[in-house]
Chain A
Amino acid sequence: MINIFEVNETNDMIEKENLDVRTITLGISLLDCCSEDVDKTCDKIYEKITHKAEKLVSVGEDISHEFGIPIVNKRISVTPVSLIGASSCRSTDDFVKIAKTLDRAASTVGINFLGGYSALVSKGMTSADEMLIRSIPEALSTTNLVCSSVNLGSTKTGINMDAVRLMGEIIKETAEKTRDNDSIGCAKLVVFCNAPDDNPFMAGAFHGVTEADSIINVGVSGPGVVKYALEKVRGESFEVLCETIKKTAFKVTRVGQLVAREASNMLGVPFGIVDLSLAPTPAIGDSVADILCEIGLEHAGAPGTTAALALLNDQVKKGGVMASSYVGGLSGAFIPVSEDQGMIDAVNAGALTLEKLEAMTCVCSVGLDMIAIPGDTKATTISGIIADEMAIGMVNQKTTAVRLIPVIGKGVGEKAEFGGLLGYAPIMPVNGFSCDAFVNRTGRIPAPIHSFKN
Chain B
Amino acid sequence: MKKTIITVVGKDTVGIIAKTCTYLADNNINILDISQTIVSDYFNMMMIVDMNKATKKFGVVADELEELGKSIGVIIKCQQEDIFNSMHRI
Contact = CB atoms under 8 A, between A and B. Distances in A.
Nearest to A259: B83
Contacts of A4: 35-37, 44-46
Given A2-B5, A2-B48, A11 B86 contact: no
Contacts of A9: 88
A150 B39 CA distance: 53
A255 B86 contact: yes
A205 B24 CA distance: 44
A65 B60 CA distance: 10
Contact of A2 (B36, B44, B58, B85): B85
A68 B79 contact: yes
Interface string B69-87: 0000000011111111111
Contacts of B81: 2
A77 B36 CA distance: 45
A244 interface: no
Given A2-B88, A4-B44, A8-B44, A69 B83 contact: yes
Interface string B32-46: 010111000000111
A328 B36 CA distance: 41
Contact of A3 (B35, B80, B82): B35
A66 B80 contact: yes
Contacts of A40: none
A254 B84 CA distance: 10
Interface bin, chain A: 20 to 34
A415 B52 CA distance: 55
Contacts of A254: 86-87
A6 interface: yes
Contacts of B84: 2, 6-7, 10
A11 B87 CA distance: 11
B43 to A, nearest CB: 12
B7 interface: yes
Contact of B86 (A1, A68, A258): A258
A6 B5 CA distance: 11
B31 interface: no
A258 B44 contact: no
Interface of B: 5, 7, 33, 35-37, 44-46, 48, 58-59, 62, 77-88
Given A4-B45, A68-B77, 14 more contacts: A2-B5, A2-B81, A2-B88, A3-B35, A8-B46, A10-B83, A65-B59, A66-B58, A66-B59, A66-B79, A68-B79, A69-B83, A258-B82, A258-B83
